[in-house]
Chain A
Amino acid sequence: MSLLFFCMAICFSTILKDQNAAEIVQKADQKMRGSTMQAEMSIKTTRPTWSREMKCKVWTKGNSLSMILIQSPARDKGISFLKRNKEVWNWLPALERSIKLPPSMMSQSWMGTDFTNDDLVKESSIVEDYVHTLKGDTVIQNRECYIIQMIPRPETAVVWSKVIVCIDKKDFMELHSRFYDEEGELVNTMNGYDVKMMDGRLIPTRFEMIPTGKKGQKTEMIYWFIKYNRPIPDEFFSTEKMKALT
């Protein structure tokens, strides 16, 4: 009887822990993204012999709507990306043409960076598309963090086999993440730095994506302006609006 009670207690605590893990990820996701977000950022790609920097504007609403506009360099100025649910379009101003991207393109590098198309337009949701498990605690940048394992749900089109995220216990900031491929090999490591108050929220404002085993290679994403929870109508996220972004 006591053994049964002990087993039930373990099962119950595991379920509770996993529920907690999902909630922690949801809180961190919600904090970084808000119900809506308008941001301006720089993306710097570094390789051993060269580097490139671009500036972008981003608009997101929930998990299903997002838009990105490239502002510099001049050769790419005006290119934009729109995501609505699982569909993604790319507007090329020189051609005055929007192109619908095939789903197989989502796992590929975005504009030559170490981020994938999926990372940028967030086709997959880190809350809904994964099963979350609390794995322990750690300290990152003098902050107490949860370690959470995320395994994609079988029906989702997530490119990773596993993601480990470390989330600050007090302020729910994602400070460290590791992405594993189908063979279980570590592919990318992402670190969050430069914690700042942006529009009333304490968040990391610089993210570094470092591919494994590629010396001198990384991509940095630096947010220098963010506004949260300002109303953006659903109609803004349309193939017509993406042509006229400024």
Chain B
Amino acid sequence: MKKLMLLFFCITVQIPSLAQDSLILPKQLEVDGYIKNLQSLNFDRTFKNLITLNLLHNRLNFKWKSSEHFIAVTELRTRVFWGEEVKQTPGFASLLRNEIEKINLQTTWIDNESLVAHTNVERLYLDYRKNNLNVRLGRQRINWGVTGTWNPNDIFNAYNFLDFDYEERSGVDGGKVHLDIRPLSSTEIAYSFSGKKGSVAAIRYSLNKWNYDMQLITGWYNDRLTAGLGWAGYIKDAGFKGETQYYFAAKNTASHINLTLEGDYMLKNGWYLNAGFLLNQEGLNKPVSNWEDINLKLSSENLMPTKWNFILTTAKELNPLLSANVGVLYAPGTELLILLPSFNYNMSPNLDVNLLGQSFFASLNGNMEAVNHHFFLRVKWSF
């Protein structure tokens, strides 16, 4: 274990210094990544009880270009957690596994009551690209999403949009074959093992018509047939995007549909507006009596715990280094409200500081009330 720790610190300390312009690495090898520190403050509804969590987070990306057409990619994610949340969460380390990864490529190299250190191989694939063909085998992200907040078409790697600190999202173990038909028209076949639940196999056809990117998807999602449609285009000067995914009925489950619509517009004074809507047919549509009934553990089929969801986001670049962003999410049936303010500041070319908040409100036992509040301070150094 000590050797592993030593190796980790050697890598994280050495790689950044190697990654300067004077880097003497083989021309075929590219190394980049970041180190982040995230301080989380989790308050209860009255701001009285505070639970803290510290996360030191490192990502190392290795890309080996063995020839003009072949690339091998390995990406490692190492996280070290400490603080009250580690102490108060039974089996904290067991919650760190990406559930949609079939093969276990993780290691928990420290697991005690106050500190957990965990490394996962996030990407591990071979990529072949020649002319209009691209084949990728191994652990990878297969991203079929078109819209910004929710992605019903992203049937391989669904994610929780509240998990802002995991930009890259988890990978799946599988393969894909992509064939360009014309510059904006292609077809892609992908397959993934999805852990305990089964596997996903699907085909996507993409085309561009009338200034709209469109995609049609069909395939198997675990034990059932699924079909989807996505698009991205304009209405006058505003962006208009959408995705819908239909899951056919199977042995023990009824058919259901997910639909998202999204519009975005940049005002002349620099304010960016984004309005989104999500229908999750299987979501809750009534107020709950207990907050624990709202399950924020999400999947491709279940992108929100609630049925009807509206989000309005506005962002403004206060100056080229400082930007502010406020999101308001409201689910009317369940009367769930989430406020999502954030500030981003670029301190130096590769050093960013983010201050974020997530406040949850819900109608519990007939009264709209605060549930909990989370605040995050993140410092990120990219290399």
- Chain A residues within CB distance 8 Å of chain B: 45, 47, 50, 52-53, 73-75, 77, 84, 86-87, 94-97, 99-105, 107-109, 112-113, 157, 234-235, 237-240, 244, 246
Contact = CB atoms under 8 A, between A and B. Distances in A.
B266 A105 contact: yes
Contacts of B99: none
Given A96-B168, A104-B238, A235-B180, A74 B32 contact: yes
A99 B234 CA distance: 13
21 contacts: A52-B346, A73-B382, A75-B34, A75-B380, A95-B143, A96-B143, A96-B168, A97-B143, A100-B213, A102-B238, A102-B264, A103-B234, A104-B239, A107-B266, A107-B268, A108-B270, A109-B317, A235-B182, A235-B183, A238-B180, A240-B180
Given A53-B349, A105-B272, A113-B320, 5 more contacts: A87-B208, A96-B141, A103-B234, A108-B270, A235-B182
A109 B129 contact: no
Nearest to B20: A74
Contacts of B267: 104
A63 B233 CA distance: 21
Contacts of A237: 183
Interface in B183-227: 183-184, 186, 208, 211, 213
Contact of A97 (B145, B208, B236): B145
Nearest to B127: A244
B265 A102 contact: yes
B211 A239 contact: no
Given A45-B320, A240-B134, A95 B167 contact: yes
A105 B264 CA distance: 10
B132 interface: yes
B134 A74 contact: no
A99 B148 CA distance: 8
A88 B233 CA distance: 10
A103 B319 CA distance: 22
Contacts of A113: 320
A86 B211 contact: yes
A93 B380 CA distance: 17
Nearest to A233: B183
Contact of A112 (B237, B239, B321): B321
Interface of B: 19, 32, 34, 65, 129, 132, 134, 141, 143, 145, 148, 167-169, 178, 180, 182-184, 186, 208, 211, 213, 232-234, 236-239, 241, 264-268, 270, 272, 317, 319-321, 346, 349-350, 352, 380, 382-383
A104 B266 contact: yes
A235 B130 CA distance: 13
A21 to B, nearest CB: 29
A239 B185 CA distance: 9
B382 A84 contact: no
Contacts of A53: 349
A30 B317 CA distance: 35
B266 A108 contact: yes
B350 A238 contact: no
Contacts of B239: 100-102, 104
B143 A47 contact: no
A50 B345 CA distance: 13
A102 B32 contact: no
A60 B383 CA distance: 29
Given A102-B266, A103-B234, A74 B320 contact: no
A239 B183 CA distance: 7
A229 to B, nearest CB: 21
Give the 8 A-B CB pairs with smallest separation, nearest first: A112-B320, A102-B239, A238-B183, A75-B382, A104-B237, A73-B349, A100-B232, A104-B266
A90 B258 CA distance: 26
B383 to A, nearest CB: 5
A74 B350 contact: yes
Contacts of A102: 234, 237-239, 264-266
Question: For B183, B237, B265, B270, which residue has the most chain A Cβ atoms within 10 angstroms?
Answer: B183
Nearest to A65: B183
Contacts of B270: 108-109
Contacts of A105: 266, 272
B174 to A, nearest CB: 15
Contacts of B350: 73-75
B213 A240 contact: no
A100 B241 contact: yes
B9 to A, nearest CB: 20
A105 B234 CA distance: 12
A96 B61 CA distance: 14
A96 B168 CA distance: 7
A111 to B, nearest CB: 8
A75 B383 CA distance: 7
A95 B168 CA distance: 5
Given A84-B184, A235-B183, A100 B233 contact: yes
Given A52-B349, A74-B350, A47 B320 contact: yes
